[in-house]
Amino acid sequence: MAQSLVVSQEEMDKQRQCAARVREGFPGRTYKIVTYGCQMNAHDSENLAGMLEEMGFAPAADEGEADLLLFNTCCIRDNAERRLLGNVSALAQRKREKPDLLVGVCGCMMQQEGGAQRLLDLCPFVDLVFGTHNLYRLPELLLRALRGQPVRETDGDERGCIPEGLPVRRTSAIQGALTIMYGCNNFCTYCVVPYVRGRERSRSVADVVREAESMAASGIQEILLLGQNVNSYAGGATFPELLRALDGVVPRIRFMTSHPKDLSDALIEEMAHSRSVCPQFHLPVQSGNDKVLREMNRVYTRAHYLERVRALRQAIPEVGLTTDVIAGFPGETEAEFADTLSLVEEVQYDSAFTFIYSPRRGTRAAARPDQIPEAVQHERLDRLIRVQERSTASRLAQQVGSVQEVLVEGASRRREGFLAGRTGRGMTVNFPGDAALVGKIVPVRILGTGANTLRGERA
Ligand code: 5AD
Ligand code: SF4
């Protein structure tokens, strides 16, 4: 059962007082936030930016000029950590030239056991270190750093808590993320998330609906509901009930991520009848082999997963399915990997995020002696990507000739005079049109396909 531990009003007031002290005592400063990792992190950075602007900080026009550089870290795979360590250690020189530059590092890697120490061994000059459980305390921590005290806040209640009413500086005026729950209780054996994001806890329906309404009032057209496992939402209602409460607040609602073990008939039913919820489902499978799934602690079988996919497609025939897949989990044999390839082939996903297994400190799978050699992992990943490419191409091609409702997100980055937007099932469409259409939902006839996108004209 997800608990609801809201940070006390007193504590939030204290943060607002610290924010006021920063604003008055340290005016005219600029910031730059560098974000790694998932949509959760991207949204946390929007809250960090909101807090900084409340403290009078302005976004720096150029990273080189910022008075505060804040890195919001990820530790889901080794490469995210390596990039962070490389980028922060490269700042040693700049810090010597500009001693009043503040460097902060926060987020998942700083919450991870030993993560902050690995950073500080390499980069002792970092002024401000804090983990995910302390993000909302940025005003208090920044005030301390501005007064010249090094900040190292990597503890925090393992169960975590919910900060309500944080300021937010959104990066898009059209689409916005809304966190409905924090943390994860699943402990998949490869995954570090439960260790750095704490146990599941849900925001109340009232708080979620209030935030959605205020997003709608500011013109946002599409809301992405966020949680590590939205299907186990428990903020006084079930997830399908929450979707019902949000229906019609904005034209489009999406959500991620879902665990296949919790994909209920009630959710499928609600999606099929909702006006706002888009026909898109991100359903990470990770592996197509029962032994590997068991060893990953995924608690479903291949057959159960495929049955859920069938149920989804029966109720919502146009649903766009996407997934996450891991290649080269410890002990995975060639035959077991072949089961993953055949599942991906069978389901025919719109797209897939494919990963090489990366051992994470403190997780069960990392301690296994039967790690797969890197060369084998890479070769498996390549085969997986090729299978998925065929399925992406065929899913895109099936759209040609149809007319799709497209939410226009902005000018196309590739072609002058073209707009880019997404269909309900989440495919990107480029079509010629006027910038005045940005933020509107327009019907577009699909004429052709690119590698990962569709091409069309206004219908
Ligand atoms: N190695 C590789 N991929 C991982 N993921 C999570 N942990 C690991 C790991 N240790 C992938 C899973 C998850 C996605 C967000 O990241 O596929 O669904
Ligand atoms: Fe990680 Fe599994 Fe939780 Fe997803 S469900 S965040 S993969 S532990």
What value does the mean pLDDT of the chain take? 95
193 lines ligand 2 (CB under 6 A): yes
CA of residue 234 to ligand 2 center, whole Å: 17
CA of residue 77 to ligand 1 center, whole Å: 7
Q: Please, where are the H alpha helices in 330-414?
A: 334-347, 374-397
Res. 376 pLDDT band, cuts 50 70 90 = very high
The pLDDT value recorded for residue 155 is 85
CA of residue 40 to ligand 2 center, whole Å: 13
Over residues 196-209, the mean pLDDT reads 94
Over residues 88-116, the mean pLDDT reads 94
d(C-alpha 342, C-alpha 358), whole Å: 23
194 lines ligand 2 (CB under 6 A): yes
Give the pairing type, strands 151-153 and 128-130.
parallel
- Encode pLDDT of 330-359 as tens digits: 999 999 999 999 999 999 999 999 999 999
Closest ligand 2 atom, CA of 228? 6
pLDDT value at 83 more than 60: yes
d(C-alpha 318, C-alpha 312), whole Å: 10
Residue 423 near residue 459, CB atoms below 8 Å: no
- Residue with the smallest CA separation from ligand 2 atom 5 is 186
The pLDDT value recorded for residue 62 is 87
Over residues 47-61, the mean pLDDT reads 97
CA of residue 447 to ligand 1 center, whole Å: 36
- Encode pLDDT of 155-198 as tens digits: 877 667 899 999 999 999 999 999 999 999 999 999 999 999 99
- The angle at the Cα of 175, spanning 169 to 177, to the nearest 5 degrees, equals 65
User: Which ligand ends up closest to the CA of 74?
Assistant: 1
Amino acid, single-letter form, for residue 274: S
pLDDT value at 2 more than 70: no
Closest ligand 1 atom, CA of 76? 7
360 lines ligand 1 (CB under 6 A): yes
The pLDDT value recorded for residue 317 is 96
Residue that has been written with the tokens 């730059």 in this structure: 32
188 lines ligand 2 (CB under 6 A): yes
Give, for 325, the enclosing helix (H) or strand (E): strand 320-327
CA of residue 193 to ligand 2 center, whole Å: 6
Nearest CA among 321, 341, 320 for reference residue 332: 341
Over residues 11-36, the mean pLDDT reads 96
Residue that has been written with the tokens 């025939």 in this structure: 317
The pLDDT value recorded for residue 4 is 54
User: Which ligand ends up closest to the CA of 363?
Assistant: 1
pLDDT value at 1 more than 60: no
The pLDDT value recorded for residue 161 is 84
pLDDT value at 63 more than 90: no
CA of residue 441 to ligand 1 center, whole Å: 34
- Residue with the smallest CA separation from ligand 2 atom 1 is 191
CA of residue 297 to ligand 2 center, whole Å: 10
pLDDT value at 3 more than 70: no
- Residue with the smallest CA separation from ligand 1 atom 17 is 324
* 64 DSSP 8-state letter: G
- Percent of the chain past pLDDT 70, that is, above it, reads 98
Minimum mean pLDDT range among 152-166, 207-221, 261-275, 401-415: 152-166
**Other beta carbons less than 10 A from residue 369's beta carbon:** 6
- Encode pLDDT of 130-147 as tens digits: 999 999 999 999 999 999
pLDDT value at 411 more than 70: yes
What residues does 222 pair with on adjacent strands? Answer: 175, 252
Res. 368 pLDDT band, cuts 50 70 90 = very high
Tokens linked to 412: 């196309």
The pLDDT value recorded for residue 342 is 98
